[in-house]
Structure 1
C-alpha cells in the first residue's frame, strides 16, 4: 500500500513538473512577443515624429492615422500579453507551492 502511494506521489510530482516546464516555455515565448510589440511601437515613434514636421497633406495625415492605429493596436496587444503572462506566472507559482507541499508529505 505504501509503495502504491509513493508511486502516485511521484507520478503527480512528475506531471506537475511537466506542466510547469511547459508553462515556463510559454511564459518565455509570451515575453518575447511582448518585446517584439514594444519594439515595434517604440521604433514607430521616430516615424511618427518625422511625420509631425511635414506640412499638412491628406497623405501625411493618413500616415499619422495609420501609424497611430498600428501603435495603439501593438500597445493593446502588449498589455494583454502582460496580463496573460502575469496570470501564467501566478499559476506557475501555485504549482511550485503545491509541489513543495507534496514533496514534504
Structure 2
C-alpha cells in the first residue's frame, strides 16, 4: 500500500518544517542541518532536490548517505513508535518528523543528531 506522503513533494513540506522550527525560536539552518545529517545531502544537493520537486519516496531512495545513527531515533510520531515502523520509506519520513519535533521542543542539536 502506497501512502499519499510518498508522492508528496519534499519542497511542499519543507517550508512547514522551517516554520515549525522558527515558531519555537529555532532556525532554517538547524532544519537544514537535520536534513544533511539524516540524508547525507549537502546544501547544494538538498537545494537541487527541493528545486526538482522530488517526492518523499524518491528523496529517501536517492539520499546520498543515510546516516547509520538514525537507527538510534526512538519515540512516537503521529501516535506510532518510529522504531516499530516496518516500511523503509515511511520509517525514514517519520525519523525526519521526529527530529524536527525534537528541534521544535528545544532539544540541543547534539542530542537531536545523536552525538
Indicate the TM-score class for this superposition, using the shorter chain for normalisation: under 0.3
TM-score (structure 1 length as normaliser): 0.27
Q: Which has the larger radius of gyration?
A: 1
Q: TM-score by structure 2 length?
A: 0.25
Question: Structure 1 or 2: larger helix share?
Answer: 1
Q: State the structure with bigger RCO (CA 8 A, min sep 6), 1 or 2.
A: 1
